[in-house]
Amino acid sequence: MRDQQPWDYHRGPGPRTLGVEEELLLVDPGSGLPQPLAGTVTEIAAWHADVRPKADRGEPVKPELFREMLEIGTRPCVTADELAEQLRQARSAAAAAAKEAGVAVAALATAPMRYDPLLTPSDRYRLIQDRYARLIDDKLTCACHVHVHLASAEEGVGVLDRIRPWLAPLLALSANSPFWQGQDTGYASWRHQLWSRWPMSGPAELYGDVDAHEETTRAMLASEVLVDDHMVYFDARLSRSYPTVEVRVGDVCQHPEDALLLAVLVRALVETEARAWRAGREADPVPTVVLRLAAWRASRFGLGGELLHPLTWRPAPAAAVLEALVDHVTPALRATGDLDRAVRGTELLLARGTGADLQRAAHTGGVSLAPVVADAVRRTVPA
């Protein structure tokens, strides 16, 4: 998420602002193969933005690690309706620029078809490629990152410690990557499995306070495993660019309304746990290894099986876990006017299925996965 002006910490009684960053694939709409045209598409998008009035320009379309990917983002938003419009505009602008370049955008968290991506020319990206070797070959993946405004760094660490149990259900509802290198992986979110190979990814340990958080970051950098502090790839982190909590656990969602649901649930979760921190309620000391098990279940089954329930740490139907999540954050949802939206959104998602379910439904059988990509292109920017 990007803004033209530096942010201050959240002040006042109003709702916390929130924003979303999404990564999208560039694909050939016929064959379904990824296309390395991010440079061309971003130039076209920038030209269109420059000729519009400044107030209507929105956020720039940006290249990503590979030439087959784009990043889009919203400005900080107060209401869910504002965020929904920003998401629609951002996806539409990227799609229009891609169309001029002869390709399409697809909200797919992995490229379904066998393909070797091309690195975006950048000194930083070349350093990452050199340091991580074959790990980077599997990084053509697309996520959804949700930023929520903080009142202070201390509050942010309190939130990070307390949202840990609820991150796996967020992964489950966003799961949108069953296919990889031409095969059905058997997972709802194979993107999560690919990211789990990275040494600085997954759920974080409990911090306790800001000093411990910063000491952990310093130790990670001192190991010289990370290229820089932007490579703290935990499922949730304090942003190094904005005064926000950045929840990074989710796949990019096919449907914009699913991305909106993810965002409003994240904001409500941040608000709920900030209140718990201010009230002095202790964080659940659940071991990180159990959180990894919960994330594995979410990655494997999405909403199509049992998840680990964050209140018992025993398997429970996905619908019951989503219901528990909404119940947990209901006061915060009600305060922002998002409760009905969250209830309807979770009901729709359980009835319709996640992006992973939609991809499998679009697979007509046989070898070709082109219909899966074509269906995702259609859903990425609904008419």
Domain ranges, ordered by start, for the chain: 18-380
Q: Cα separations (Å) of 146 from 138, 149, 264?
A: 23, 10, 9
> For the chain, how far is it from start to end, CA to CA, in angstroms?
25
| pLDDT for the residue numbered 14 | 79
| pLDDT for the residue numbered 49 | 76
* Calpha distance 63→205 (Å, rounded): 32
Greatest CA separation found in the chain? Answer: 57
Low-confidence ranges of the chain (pLDDT < 70): 1-12, 50-58
Residue range 18-380, CATH number: 3.30.590.20
Q: How far is CA 91 from the centre of its chain?
A: 15
253-264 burial, b at 16+ Cβ within 10 Å, e below that, comes to bbbbbbbbbbbb
Phi and psi based region of residue 209 (left: phi greater than 0; alpha: psi -120 to 50; beta: remaining) = beta
The SS3 call for residue 174 is helix
Task: State the residue for tokens 């018992």.
Answer: 312
List alpha helices for 17-79, DSSP H: 38-50
- pTM for the full predicted model: 0.95
The SS3 call for residue 107 is coil
For 127, the token pair is: 């350093």
Name the amino acid, one letter, at 9.
Y
List alpha helices for the chain, DSSP H: 38-50, 80-100, 123-132, 153-163, 167-174, 190-195, 210-222, 256-278, 288-301, 318-336, 339-352, 355-362, 370-380
* Calpha distance 383→204 (Å, rounded): 40
| pLDDT for the residue numbered 4 | 38
Pairing of the two strands 201-202 and 233-234: parallel
121 secondary structure, DSSP code: S
* Calpha distance 112→95 (Å, rounded): 19
